[in-house]
Chains A and B, each alone.
Chain A
């Protein structure tokens, strides 16, 4: 059982470039999330989705976009990369939103913008 899979694990971007972080889960979870983790700052929610075709902003959505065309996939797109987007990005999924929602995380994508 693969769980939540993220690609790529590492990436270096130049300022102004764009890229997509891929996330797929095989647990048939409706809820999916993108977080970023900065050193000493905890995790911040970027975007989330409650099901295919439904997405919404989290705490720090500026500079990012998402789509959810299938239950399994939830890609995160960075447009016009900036040094402030240097971070570790985690995708997560859960089978319910709040009451019972244990989160399952991918192993992360480490992004550096130079």
Chain B
């Protein structure tokens, strides 16, 4: 059974700092990995989608890497801003299913203080 773990559970940093969020998964047989952002009381917004054949994806100040063989992904946020404060979740799509079954981690709560 696929399990996804995110470390740390919570992180508080000063504005301007570069930071890394970690995601690990137990089964390397995945289609892709996605990073989502969730603001309080809101739905999830997809930030980056990495296919299993890719090593990384970049969008603005965000860079996500994928090491399928070791079951790890990192989300790097450069020059953090207070507006980056949110919960960040990673999810993997399990291979071998007829639909996109996502297994989610429990999330990292990020607080960026001015």
Residues of A bordering B, CB below 8 Å? 4, 31, 33, 40-43, 45, 48, 50, 56, 58, 90, 92, 94, 96-108
In the A-B complex, the 6 residue pairs with the smallest Cβ-Cβ separation, listed nearest first, are A105-B43, A98-B31, A42-B104, A97-B100, A105-B44, A43-B104
Give the residues from 95 to 114 in chain B that come closer than 8 angstroms, CB to CB, to chain A.
95, 97-102, 104-107
Residue B12, interface by CB 8 Å:
no
Complex Cα spacing A97 to B102, Å? 10
By beta carbon, the residue of chain A nearest B106 is: A42
Interface majority SS on B: helix, strand, loop or mixed? strand
Complex Cα spacing A71 to B45, Å? 22
Complex Cα spacing A48 to B97, Å? 12
Residue B61, interface by CB 8 Å:
no
Complex Cα spacing A33 to B97, Å? 15
